[in-house]
Structure 1
């Protein structure tokens, strides 16, 4: 349009016919019609198409005004040379313009494609980094020279666990010697260094600083098969090893417990026979021997009590439960506890909460738990000691708190209180608290002990509330 506008203004001579000749507007429909095949053609084809349309139109525009009705062969030589130079220059420049535009366009497309590939590569790298940060494994990669190229957040946390001063920036681009060399024993470091230098698939387990780690290494390779570094994955097996060890102990203890439970059950029968015959013999013996029979029978009863406690501890059956009020059970046991306390010269205080919701309990087992804990508290006190029994509501649980004013328990022994056969009493069996813990666990509860030497001990039994049921299904214990 700009070319046509300039031709209208400056064409000499002017006129519509010269406008048509000088602009070649008659060829425009042909050019626009060839646009689509021109776009899809190769570079050589585009140059040829340009020459095929440009040369005739330029020749037509130049020669027709020069002819002025004369034959083309009568054109002066100077005009013919000028026309030839003009046509050749136009054709060559047109071809050069096509080459330049195509080259620039190709470069632009390559640049755009590279930009897209670069953005996709960057996103894939970020996505891979996010995935490795989420995976609960400690991952680190090295190049062929043993320098750290990347690590995830778990690996960084693991390294900082042993070397708190190291940061990600300090670890990246550093050789493995500087990362691991100063924080490990020489033997463990040499072992790990051998794994990294091997550059092969390897699985090994090392123990360092009371921790157990499983190390897996694998080489990284390019598509052509050329080595591209090494990846190392470290898994913390400390808890797993601890659980495996505890399970082994549990299996052994379970087997021993089953055998012991069977043996003690069989022992109880002949003991009952022996006690029966001792009663008959005492009736037929002189009175001066009755005290001896009494001592023997008391020891038999004590042995039988120990056997019963052991069998209760080893029992794993599901106990029958009912919805009851805890303070009612406490009120039933109060006379027994008071009587025992009076014999020792001690006193008992009750702080019961009658507003506690109903609990699903096995009454016989809960009574046994309360009596055992109460007697433990009384045995820990001297005369004039005070035993406090308290019930209260804490969040969604009921708490039974038994507090004594005894000498307290050393902190070193608190963790062992509920271990079977552990006792601080000269005549104790070490099964009472284990039995209480077993009862609490069968009620989905817990037992917590708080003690201070010289001031006393508090045993806190926590039992969760049952979900609310329909009133018709509730049986109130009374």
Structure 2
């Protein structure tokens, strides 16, 4: 038996202490029964304690039993001490201790009787041996007293074994039930935690369609449509109260009907513009094979359907882009031939036709520029990057930007931050990015407009800011600004900013727009960088 409480002895030690106290009391109260037999039942708790205890504890109890007999037993003498304690039976008693502990109730009673009966015979013979055996004859009354005395002792011993075993069985059953209750509580809590972390909304119902339990996801789902709902407002309420007019009437009736009939149900339900996959299944008591309610599982498919729709659109656009890229690539070749022959025809034509040839060639160049932008946007090539300072790229482009600005009557300001870290950039693509953003800003401004290029860096990012003083962009236009073929210009293609976004994404950066109508627009391009890598590179340099 295990120790249940560290402040008290375990069951076996408690039994030994009780046996020792019983031995003491029995020895103190020992007497002679009707002057015939020596009445001392101390042998009974002594033998029971030795059989139940370990070898060391049994030796201690046997020694204590001998000590009590020396102090209290009558008549005195070595012979009487040997007979009263049954010491000659101790080897047999310790030999039977192990099979006694492993035996059944009847086996334990039988083993106790095996050693108790000889011991009681010895006790019964003590008064007879104390007299003169030649002059004394045992009459029938004395024989009856001794027989009843021995019989009662054996019966009491059997009852003691029965009560001890019954008490221990009850205690073990109590401990077993306690462990089962603890395990059940632990498993219930574990199951509740599992259902709470699963990305599924789970709700259980009884046979009458009343809510009995729900997990956190189901609670949040219900609160999306009933913000004031608490767990106490849901548990114990019928499930049908949560299906109102927002659910399709036929779907709701079919779901409630399947719940009422304890049948499986699996269907997609639309509820307040959101899509859910609703599944129900009956619960069954395994042992009794009877209905045990229903479980309702709801999975929100709204985001998945949006993502699936977007992926489908992306796949279609990718296919269209690949086809268009191939077509436009083939268009450039005949356009180049046409432009070449136009130049030859222009040389052999009268001067008054030069304006017509010039107009046709400009339109061909414009079409070729559109094709080049489209091909750059459609191609998903890998950018070959090198570690370069962003300032060098801006300084190389600044004469071209100033020239364009002068033609428009505008100005360009450079505000380059100090000690800018090196970046992994594709120089050609970054030049195209800066030119597109700069020219877009110039086209959005009138005369005397100011284009500002500014650089700065934070702990892990370098930012390029392109600011203009144009008319600004409305909020509705900002939402579509990077959409291919969307433009606010009469002569624009709508591919410039889309190309800029593609370049920034290939550099693992980001681009954002801030604009205020009548004030101007700010494009912020952010590039990531590794501060530790830059420090190592600087030391190497």
| TM-score class normalised by the smaller sequence | 0.7 to 0.9
The farther-off stretch of 59-68 and 412-421 is 59-68
Residues 247 and 269 of structure 2 are in contact (CA less than 8 Å); yes or no, is this contact kept in structure 1?
A: no
Secondary structure, counterpart of 2:382 in structure 1: coil
Counterpart-to-counterpart distance in 1, 2:483 and 2:356: 35
Secondary structure, counterpart of 2:280 in structure 1: strand
Counterpart-to-counterpart distance in 1, 2:383 and 2:69: 110
Distance 1:99 1:283, change over 3 A: same
Secondary structure, counterpart of 1:258 in structure 2: helix
Name the counterpart of 1:61.
Answer: 123
Distance 1:80 1:131, change over 3 A: same
The farther-off stretch of 415-424 and 147-156 is 147-156
Name the counterpart of 1:124.
Answer: 187
What is the deviation of 1:423? 1.0
Which of 413, 420, 423 aligns to 1:349? It is: 413
Name the counterpart of 2:273.
Answer: 210
Distance 1:449 1:435, change over 3 A: same
In structure 1, the gaps of 5 or more residues are: none
Name the counterpart of 1:435.
Answer: 499
Name the counterpart of 1:152.
Answer: 215
Secondary structure, counterpart of 1:343 in structure 2: helix
Name the counterpart of 2:176.
Answer: 113
- Deviation string 1:425-459 (CA, Å, 9 cap, x unpaired) is 12221111111112222222221111122221101
Counterpart-to-counterpart distance in 1, 2:425 and 2:369: 24
Name the counterpart of 2:200.
Answer: 137
Counterpart-to-counterpart distance in 2, 1:163 and 1:63: 91
The farther-off stretch of 88-97 and 194-203 is 194-203
Name the counterpart of 1:193.
Answer: 256
Secondary structure, counterpart of 2:473 in structure 1: coil
Distance 1:34 1:361, change over 3 A: closer
Highest RCO, 1 vs 2 (Cα 8 Å, sep ≥ 6): 1
**RMSD of equivalent CA atoms:** 3.2
Counterpart-to-counterpart distance in 1, 2:120 and 2:245: 83
Which of 72, 95, 99 aligns to 2:162? It is: 99
Secondary structure, counterpart of 2:278 in structure 1: strand
Name the counterpart of 1:44.
Answer: 106
Name the counterpart of 1:32.
Answer: 94
- Deviation string 1:24-52 (CA, Å, 9 cap, x unpaired) is 44444443333223223322233333334
Counterpart-to-counterpart distance in 1, 2:369 and 2:231: 64
Q: Does 1:400 align with 2:461?
A: no
Secondary structure, counterpart of 2:188 in structure 1: helix
Distance 1:10 1:324, change over 3 A: closer
Name the counterpart of 2:435.
Answer: 371
Distance 1:303 1:280, change over 3 A: same
Secondary structure, counterpart of 1:164 in structure 2: coil
Counterpart-to-counterpart distance in 1, 2:134 and 2:309: 113
Q: TM-score, normalised by structure 2?
A: 0.78
Counterpart-to-counterpart distance in 1, 2:388 and 2:107: 99
Name the counterpart of 2:392.
Answer: 328
Q: Does 1:391 align with 2:455?
A: yes
Name the counterpart of 1:305.
Answer: 369
Q: How does 1:56-95 map to 2 (within 5 A)?
A: 56-66=118-128, 68-69=131-132, 74-95=137-158
Name the counterpart of 2:476.
Answer: 412
Residues 255 and 265 of structure 2 are in contact (CA less than 8 Å); yes or no, is this contact kept in structure 1?
A: no
Counterpart-to-counterpart distance in 1, 2:380 and 2:101: 86
Residues 445 and 470 of structure 2 are in contact (CA less than 8 Å); yes or no, is this contact kept in structure 1?
A: yes
Counterpart-to-counterpart distance in 1, 2:135 and 2:223: 93
- Deviation string 1:56-82 (CA, Å, 9 cap, x unpaired) is 433442355157345899434543443
What is the deviation of 1:327? 1.6
Residues 217 and 233 of structure 1 are in contact (CA less than 8 Å); yes or no, is this contact kept in structure 2?
A: yes
Residues 313 and 434 of structure 1 are in contact (CA less than 8 Å); yes or no, is this contact kept in structure 2?
A: yes
What is the deviation of 1:15? 4.0
Q: Does 1:260 align with 2:329?
A: no
Counterpart-to-counterpart distance in 2, 1:146 and 1:154: 20
Residues 162 and 183 of structure 1 are in contact (CA less than 8 Å); yes or no, is this contact kept in structure 2?
A: no
Q: How does 1:423-462 map to 2 (within 5 A)?
A: 423-462=487-526
Secondary structure, counterpart of 1:312 in structure 2: helix
Counterpart-to-counterpart distance in 2, 1:151 and 1:415: 41
Residues 405 and 457 of structure 1 are in contact (CA less than 8 Å); yes or no, is this contact kept in structure 2?
A: yes
Distance 1:453 1:49, change over 3 A: same
Name the counterpart of 1:293.
Answer: 357
| Count of residues paired in the alignment | 473
Counterpart-to-counterpart distance in 1, 2:424 and 2:122: 111
Q: Does 1:227 align with 2:291?
A: yes
What is the deviation of 1:106? 1.4
The farther-off stretch of 298-307 and 75-84 is 75-84
Counterpart-to-counterpart distance in 2, 1:126 and 1:425: 64
Secondary structure, counterpart of 2:109 in structure 1: helix
- Deviation string 1:369-411 (CA, Å, 9 cap, x unpaired) is 2111111111212222211111222332322111011121112
Q: TM-score, normalised by structure 1?
A: 0.87
Counterpart-to-counterpart distance in 2, 1:140 and 1:71: 93
